[in-house]
Chain A
Amino acid sequence: MLSPYIPVFVGILWAALLAAVLIGVSLLFGPNRPTPEKRSTYECGIDPMIGDARTRFSIKFYVVAVLFLLFDVEVVFMYPWAVLLKRLGLLGLIEMMTFLLVLVVAFVYVWKKGALNWE
């Protein structure tokens, strides 16, 4: 049952090894002579000023995340349905269309509320 996953695990190990080796090699070969200027944060030639970069960020990004969660779950629901649509027949179609309708209503609501404006 799990045999097709053996190469996947081998691949994960190998990719991780590759990444580690590449980073390691560059650490090994590259010079390392840090100075305060090299280690300072780039901000267009100016000393990093006025506030930290890791501040609280705009709430708008959070809205995107919530919307994503919503729709992504919907997409996952639709995969098995899509594959089996022929076998599910008309009932399956009606069921999914009802589900979609609810979702579209919600989508229109979100749109009208202005959550899809990013200006």
Chain B
Amino acid sequence: MANVVVQTLLEKFPESVSPAPDFRDEEAVCVAREGLPEVLRFLYADPDTEYRLLEDICGADYPEREKRFEAVYHLYSVKTARHLRLKVGIGEEDPTLPTATGIWKAADWFEREAFDQYGIRFEGHPNLRRILNHEEFVGHPLRKDYPIKGRQKLTRPSNLGWDERKSAGNGGGSDAEAGQPEQMILNIGPAHPTTHGTLRVLARLEGETILEADPEIGYLHRGFEKTAETLTYQQVIPLTDRLNYVSAMMNNVGYCRAVEKLLGIEVSKRVQYIRVIVSELSRIIDHLVCIAANIVDIGALTPYWYCFRERENVYELLEALCGARMTTSYTRIGGLAHDLPDGWVDKCREYIRERVPRGIEETDTLITKNRIFVDRTMGVGAISGEDALNWGFTGPCLRASGVPFDVRKANPYYDYDKFDFDIPVGSNGDTYDRYLVRMEEMRQSLRIIEQALDGLPEGPISIEDRRISLPEKEAVYTKFGALVQHTKLIVDGILPPEGEIYSVTEAANGVLGFYIVSDGTKRPYRIKVRPPCFAIFQALPQLTEGSMIADLIATVGSLNIIAGELDR
């Protein structure tokens, strides 16, 4: 199976497709710019492969190469459960590519991001303007020649008019400002009680009905990817806490797993099980927060407190592990920061058997069959499974639409295939189904934790490799060899081989992907995060147009957009 797709592509498109260097068994090909649309269309439509999910498009910059820029496409086929990477080289003099928005709607924002960060222009894109950086910003910050401290003074808040927002690229424009006096353009966010984090949506209204909605992001953009290029691999871990800050553990796990793949190492079973436990605990936190916030936006404050009370309990567990509640930084490359403290397993059992279920069931009792809640959410913000996949939805939002795709089942890692758990699937893809799916996923997570606690093996919490894991702190002070090892690791860092990998985990919101390019030095050459909610949020206009403001609020809440990972 391994390279069937690559072989097919090489045979079918001999002029445009060439093999990419083989590394860590990943399927990857290089595609010439001219042949790209053809190849993409083939991959999407071919019944054998059906790459229906465009997970990511990102840019990369190699100034020494002849074709300086590279656009990297990560495709996924739910049918064959395989990833495929396409790499397209682009010269600096004419950094243009044909757009993929005609095939995957998900390409929209990913292409805008590549344009924003690298200046790669996608021809035929409906609205190619900056997305993470401010419209006044000059230059493309992720290019290697853009200085790391290249700060720019901006003079005003983002204030594009409706027509400017809509017509960037190819002059479309709408009639919003031209003679429609009954219409009102309402700005929702970034400082709005319901745009948790800093989201912003512009809505063109008639009465209270939304004619057109336009999300604007980037208010929490802090240049994670640029910063990561200046740090060693271990030093990036604290930055990953801030991606999805609601479930920081899962980002720690996802990032470390990616680097471990790059290094070609496997962590011990104990580490894997502990990572599963903390991931599932984080998933519960994330779902609790999402449901709580969604319900409070719909107007019921009480279930919010029930959810947050239990979140507090789970935070206590995480705090016992690493001393921090939100910014955990618990994992290390090749292992974990600490082993479980004494008595933690029993405490965890008590919490997941008695406390957390109580919060879930109380919320369930209060809300699930509440007529007002059902009326407010059923059929609101609905999307079909096919559309959801096309928009790049993953996680609970995709499963609510009836597509049973979960990385934990499709591409199991860390013994997820050995745990007994179900993937809840909705049918209508509306806000109510997203709520139900999340509720059920929390119960399934509890099951997984229970099993992982039962089967928790003994073993080291860090791999035995002098080039990767730090020695015991005590040894550093008493043994010369350990001191040298410590110093060398801190100064020189971990040195992975040259190559590039893409690794995904199932985070609370969906597929969390890390694309890491290594040039053999201690610092990553390029890290691209594929945040699940980035793809989801761009579908907001489709989800809300024609509905009312209150529906928009309910829908945004149910998508669980976390600005930290959205804007990076």
| Chain A interfacial positions (CB closer than 8 Å to B) | 43-47, 49-51, 53, 55-61, 119
Say yes or no for B341: interface residue by CB 8 A criterion: no
Q: Given contacts A45-B157, A46-B159, are A60 and B207 in contact (CB under 8 A)?
A: yes
Chain A residues with CB under 8 A of B158: 46
Within 8 Å by CB of A56, from B156, B157, B181, B209, lies B181
Q: Given contacts A50-B177, A55-B184, A119-B209, are A44 and B189 in contact (CB under 8 A)?
A: yes
**Is A50 touching B185 in the complex (CB atoms < 8 A)?**
yes
Within 8 Å by CB of A44, from B181, B182, B183, B192, lies B192
Chain A residues with CB under 8 A of B161: 49-50
Q: Given contacts A45-B191, A50-B162, are A58 and B182 in contact (CB under 8 A)?
A: yes
Q: Given contacts A44-B192, A49-B159, A50-B161, are A58 and B207 in contact (CB under 8 A)?
A: yes
Between A47, A50, A57, the greatest number of chain B beta carbons within 10 A of the residue's beta carbon is seen for A50
Q: Closest residue to A61 on the B side, CB-wise?
A: B207
List 27 A-B pairs, Cβ < 8 Å: A43-B187, A44-B187, A44-B188, A44-B189, A44-B192, A45-B189, A45-B190, A46-B159, A46-B200, A47-B156, A47-B159, A49-B159, A49-B161, A49-B185, A50-B162, A50-B177, A51-B177, A51-B184, A55-B181, A56-B181, A56-B182, A57-B184, A57-B207, A58-B206, A58-B208, A59-B182, A119-B209
Chain B residues with CB under 8 A of A46: 157-159, 187, 190, 200
5 nearest A-B pairs in the assembled complex, by CB-CB distance:
A58-B207, A45-B191, A50-B185, A44-B192, A56-B181
Q: Closest residue to A42 on the B side, CB-wise?
A: B191
Say yes or no for B436: interface residue by CB 8 A criterion: no
Tell me the complex Cα distance, A93–B438, Å. 57
**Is B207 touching A44 in the complex (CB atoms < 8 A)?**
no
Main secondary structure of the interface of A (DSSP, over half): loop
Between B184, B202, B206, the greatest number of chain A beta carbons within 10 A of the residue's beta carbon is seen for B184
Chain A residues with CB under 8 A of B185: 49-51
Q: Closest residue to B207 on the A side, CB-wise?
A: A58
B130-157 interface bits toward A, Cβ cutoff 8 Å, 1 = contact, 0 = none? 0000000000000000000000000011
Say yes or no for B540: interface residue by CB 8 A criterion: no
In angstroms, how far is the closest chain B Cβ from the Cβ of A62?
11
B205-231 interface bits toward A, Cβ cutoff 8 Å, 1 = contact, 0 = none? 011110000000000000000000000
**Is A49 touching B181 in the complex (CB atoms < 8 A)?**
no
**Is B182 touching A55 in the complex (CB atoms < 8 A)?**
yes
Say yes or no for B548: interface residue by CB 8 A criterion: yes
Q: Closest residue to B205 on the A side, CB-wise?
A: A58
Q: Closest residue to B162 on the A side, CB-wise?
A: A50
Tell me the complex Cα distance, A55–B205, Å. 12
Tell me the complex Cα distance, A49–B160, Å. 9
Q: Closest residue to B184 on the A side, CB-wise?
A: A55
Tell me the complex Cα distance, A61–B190, Å. 29
In angstroms, how far is the closest chain A Cβ from the Cβ of B80?
43
Q: Closest residue to A51 on the B side, CB-wise?
A: B185
Tell me the complex Cα distance, A61–B191, Å. 29
Tell me the complex Cα distance, A23–B191, Å. 29
In angstroms, how far is the closest chain A Cβ from the Cβ of B181?
5
**Is A57 touching B182 in the complex (CB atoms < 8 A)?**
yes
**Is A47 touching B157 in the complex (CB atoms < 8 A)?**
yes
Given contact pairs A44-B190, A44-B191, A46-B200, a sample of 12 additional A-B residue pairs in the complex whose CB atoms are under 8 Å apart: A44-B192, A45-B157, A46-B157, A46-B158, A46-B159, A47-B157, A50-B202, A51-B177, A55-B182, A55-B183, A57-B207, A61-B207
Tell me the complex Cα distance, A51–B192, Å. 19
Chain A residues with CB under 8 A of B182: 55-59
Tell me the complex Cα distance, A111–B185, Å. 30
B384-413 interface bits toward A, Cβ cutoff 8 Å, 1 = contact, 0 = none? 000000000000000000000000000000
In angstroms, how far is the closest chain A Cβ from the Cβ of B549?
13
Chain B residues with CB under 8 A of A59: 182
Tell me the complex Cα distance, A9–B207, Å. 40
Chain B residues with CB under 8 A of A53: 184
Q: Closest residue to A56 on the B side, CB-wise?
A: B181
Chain A residues with CB under 8 A of B192: 44
Chain A residues with CB under 8 A of B157: 45-47
Between B181, B187, B209, the greatest number of chain A beta carbons within 10 A of the residue's beta carbon is seen for B187
Tell me the complex Cα distance, A58–B191, Å. 27
Chain A residues with CB under 8 A of B187: 43-44, 46, 49-50
**Is A44 touching B209 in the complex (CB atoms < 8 A)?**
no
Chain B residues with CB under 8 A of A50: 161-162, 177, 185, 187, 202
Tell me the complex Cα distance, A55–B176, Å. 14
Chain B residues with CB under 8 A of A58: 182, 206-208
Q: Given contacts A51-B177, A57-B182, are A44 and B206 in contact (CB under 8 A)?
A: no
In angstroms, how far is the closest chain A Cβ from the Cβ of B396?
27
Q: Closest residue to B198 on the A side, CB-wise?
A: A45
Chain B residues with CB under 8 A of A60: 207
Tell me the complex Cα distance, A40–B202, Å. 19
Chain B residues with CB under 8 A of A44: 187-192, 195, 200
Chain B residues with CB under 8 A of A49: 159, 161, 185, 187
In angstroms, how far is the closest chain B Cβ from the Cβ of A57?
7
Chain A residues with CB under 8 A of B195: 44
In angstroms, how far is the closest chain B Cβ from the Cβ of A80?
37
Q: Closest residue to B185 on the A side, CB-wise?
A: A50
Chain A residues with CB under 8 A of B206: 58
Tell me the complex Cα distance, A60–B195, Å. 28
In angstroms, how far is the closest chain B Cβ from the Cβ of A47?
6
